[in-house]
């Protein structure tokens, strides 16, 4: 397993996924094929801007007496840049439609929906090197990622300039959440916190989040990519039951192969299944 110590570079992948009414990744249709959200192709930058804390100085008798470093008074924001326009993603983010026009596609900018940005999940990752000298995989390729469970993202069109390649820009504003995207709550015992805006990690392969919708009949659900390993420590499978609104980690009770997840009993209609895992699709 990745040690959590790495040196990363570049930006290999950037994904955006609309959320449903329960603030979970939206899965539109019941099928064995996984849904994975929308990729922002030609990704160039994912830049989190975490604000500084409040430093309060105590003085007296003509000298410093102490100081406090308190939490910031504002939340972070994230700048995203891509090397191409993506009208379907921009429409998803802003709640408008992509319209056919003269054999092409068009969306509106600065519309009356401007203040109604959609709730989305963000997943970004880059290639890295394991730099933990005590790790059995020291020097090996690993993958550094950011997972933002809930954010609103505003798209900006890039300029048209002679001699310069076009870019699209996005500003994401993460929100605090109390649970993982698959609806299992954070706890002081496990994670050491109960709220966060952004999750950062390392994996031995590029991170993948797959989602499926149950229909009461399907028992097998296919991965969108090949998992690096189906051992329980390198796979997280969660079953959210629509009837109760309770999510359960079922990694150890389902049957895992390098292509699919199989349940002994079919998840009910409107149940959600999510899998998070490192894939073999890296280099």
pLDDT of amino acid 5: 87
Ranges of the chain with pLDDT below 70: 1-2, 283
Instruction: Give which of 96, 99, 109 is closest to 168, Cα–Cα.
Output: 109
pLDDT of amino acid 1: 64
Beta strand spans in the chain (E): 6-18, 38-39, 43-49, 54-60, 63-70, 77-82, 99-101, 104-106, 119-130, 141-156, 168-174, 199-203, 207-213, 220-222, 236-241, 246-249, 255-256, 260-262, 272-278
C-alpha to C-alpha distance for 60 and 65, rounded to whole angstroms? 7
Percentage with pLDDT > 70 across the chain: 99
C-alpha to C-alpha distance for 69 and 227, rounded to whole angstroms? 42
HEC states along 44-55?
EEEEEECCCCEE
Digit-coded pLDDT (tens) for 86-144: 999 999 999 999 999 999 999 999 999 988 999 999 999 999 999 988 888 898 899 99
Dihedral (CA of 173, 178, 183, 188) sign: positive
Digit-coded pLDDT (tens) for 4-24: 888 989 999 999 999 999 999
Do residues 200 and 207 make contact, with C-beta atoms less than 8 angstroms apart? no
Prediction pTM value: 0.94
pLDDT of amino acid 233: 82
Rg of the chain taking only CA atoms, in angstroms? 21
Non-local (6+) Cβ contacts of 133 within 8 A are none
pLDDT of amino acid 232: 78
């Amino acid at each position: 397993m990745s040690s959590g110590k790495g040196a990363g570079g570049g930006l290999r992948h950037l994904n955006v996924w609309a959320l449903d009414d329960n603030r979970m990744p939206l899965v539109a249709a019941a099928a064995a094929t996984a849904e994975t959200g929308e990729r922002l192709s030609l990704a160039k930058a994912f830049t989190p801007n975490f604000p500084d804390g409040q430093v309060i100085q105590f003085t007296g008798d003509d000298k410093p007496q102490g100081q406090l470093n308190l939490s910031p008074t504002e939340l972070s924001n994230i700048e995203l840049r891509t090397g191409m326009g993506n009208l379907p993603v921009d429409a998803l983010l802003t709640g408008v439609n992509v319209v056919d026009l003269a054999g092409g596609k068009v969306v509106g900018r600065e519309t009356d929906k401007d203040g109604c940005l959609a709730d989305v999940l963000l997943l970004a990752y880059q290639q890295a090197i394991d730099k933990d000298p005590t790790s059995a995989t020291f020097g090996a390729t690993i993958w550094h990622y950011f997972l933002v469970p809930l954010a609103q993202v505003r798209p900006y069109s890039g300029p048209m300039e002679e001699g310069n390649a076009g870019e699209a820009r996005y500003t994401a504003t993460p929100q605090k959440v109390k649970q993982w995207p698959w609806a299992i709550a954070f706890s002081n015992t496990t994670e050491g916190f109960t709220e966060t805006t952004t999750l950062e990690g390392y994996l031995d392969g590029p991170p993948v989040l797959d989602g499926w919708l149950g229909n009461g009949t399907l028992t097998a659900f296919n991965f969108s990519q090949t998992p690096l390993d189906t051992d329980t420590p390198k796979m997280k499978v969660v079953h959210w039951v629509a009837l109760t609104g309770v999510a359960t980690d079922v990694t150890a009770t389902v049957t895992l192969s390098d292509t699919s997840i199989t349940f002994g009993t079919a998840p009910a209609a409107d149940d959600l299944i999510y899998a998070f895992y490192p894939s073999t699709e890296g280099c």
